[in-house]
Structure 1
Amino acid sequence: QLFSDSNPDLYELSCGTLLSCKALGKQSLQLIDITDILSVVGMVPHSPKLPSGVIENWFFVVEKSGLEIANSGPEADDGGDEPEG
């Protein structure tokens, strides 16, 4: 699913930390070549109160949603801590 550009008001109010976008819907879907993918992000739903006072449904960008964390536990550590035998 594609999303809009980020909301500039929320971005400014968050001191440049919140990229909040609107879902563009199924009509925005596109087929792309897998080699064109540069990164994968998560889009987490939230309903912020906008500066106008309106509460709307938005999605904020999460760049590292867990795949790196899932591979960083003790099972993934090949640091040689196991006794030789």
Structure 2
Amino acid sequence: METLGYFAGVLTTIAFVPQVIQIYKTKSAKDISLAMFLLFTFGVTLWLVYGISTNAVPVIAANAITLLLSLVILFFKYKYRKSV
């Protein structure tokens, strides 16, 4: 069952890589919902805390990397914002 957890974690984590690459290439994150990504990042942080508290290595690994990718997207959202 732990293998299933790792496999699910890998798939859901790498799903964010194309988004990070796209934002970096286009230098635009205008189509990314800030509210959604803030809520998502908070949720991933809670999953990471849960994984640490239950010593669930697949949950820890997947959510630590997903949190990093999510923070990169939030950073790009801030960096590439348009000044009005």
TM-score greater than 0.5 by the shorter chain: no
TM-score, structure 2 length as denominator? 0.27
Structure with larger Rg: 1
Greater strand percent: which structure? 1
Higher relative contact order (CA 8 A, sep 6+): 2
TM-score, structure 1 length as denominator? 0.26
Greater helix percent: which structure? 2
